[in-house]
Amino acid sequence: MQLQLIDGKFTKGSSNDEIDVINPATEEKIASVPRGTEKDAHAAIESSKAAFKKWKRVSANNRAEMMHEAAHKMREHKEEIVRLLTLEQGKPVPENEEEFEWLVNTFDYYAELGRHERGRVLPSGEYSQLNMVIKEPFGVVACIVPWNYPLLLLAWKLAPALAAGNTVIVKPSELTPLSTLFLAEKCFDHFPEGVINVVTGYGREVAEPLVLHKDVPVIAFTGSLAIGQRIAGIAAPMMKKLHLELGGKDAFVIAEDADPELAARALSYAALTNAGQVCTSTERVYLPKKRFGEFSEAIVSFVKALKLGPGIDPSTDVGPMIGAQYREKVQAHVDDAVNSGAKLLTGGKVPQHLGKGYFYEPTVISHVDHSMKIMREETFGPAMPLMEYDDFEQAIDLVNDSDYGLGACLLSQDPMKAKIFLEEVKAGTIWINDPLTDNYAGPFGGMKLSGGARELGIEGLEEFRETKHVHWEFAKGAKSWWYPYGKNGK
Tell me which residues are annotated as active site: 245, 279
Q: How many CA atoms lie within 13 Å of 240's alpha carbon, on the beta-carbon side?
A: 27
* Pair type for strands 18-23 and 407-411: unpaired
Number of H helices, E strands in the chain: 15, 21
Please name which of 347, 335, 35, 415 lies closest in space to residue 200, comparing C-alpha atoms.
35
CA–centroid distance for 232 within its chain: 17
User: What is the phi-psi region of residue 111: left when phi exceeds 0, alpha when psi lies from -120 to 50, beta otherwise?
Assistant: alpha
In this structure, what is the dihedral angle of CA atoms 172, 48, 220, 137, given to the nearest 10 degrees? -150
Q: What backbone phi and psi angles, to 5 degrees, belong to 343?
A: -110, 125
Q: Confirm if 71 and 130 have CB atoms less than 8 A apart.
A: no
Which burial class, exposed, middle or buried, applies to 247 when counting CB atoms under 10 A from its CB (0-12, 13-18, 19+)?
buried
| CA–CA separation, 266 and 435 (whole Å) | 7
Confirm if 220 and 143 have CB atoms less than 8 A apart.
yes
Burial 253-278, CB ≥16 within 10 A → b, else e:
bbbeebebeebbebbbebbbbbbbbb
Pairs from 76-85 (Cβ < 8 Å, separation ≥ 24): 77/182, 77/186, 77/187, 80/182, 81/151, 81/179, 81/182, 81/183, 83/312, 84/178, 84/179, 84/182, 85/150, 85/151, 85/176, 85/179
The H or E element that residue 251 is part of is: strand 250-254
d(CA 200, CA 7): 14
Amino acid at 144: I
CA distances for 280 relative to 122, 273, 405, 454, 482, angstroms: 39, 10, 10, 14, 57
Handedness of CA 72, 75, 77, 80 (dihedral sign): positive
Query: 384, 416, 4: which is closest to 174 by C-alpha?
Result: 4
The H or E element spanning position 143 is: strand 140-144
Contact 142, 207 (CB under 8 A): yes
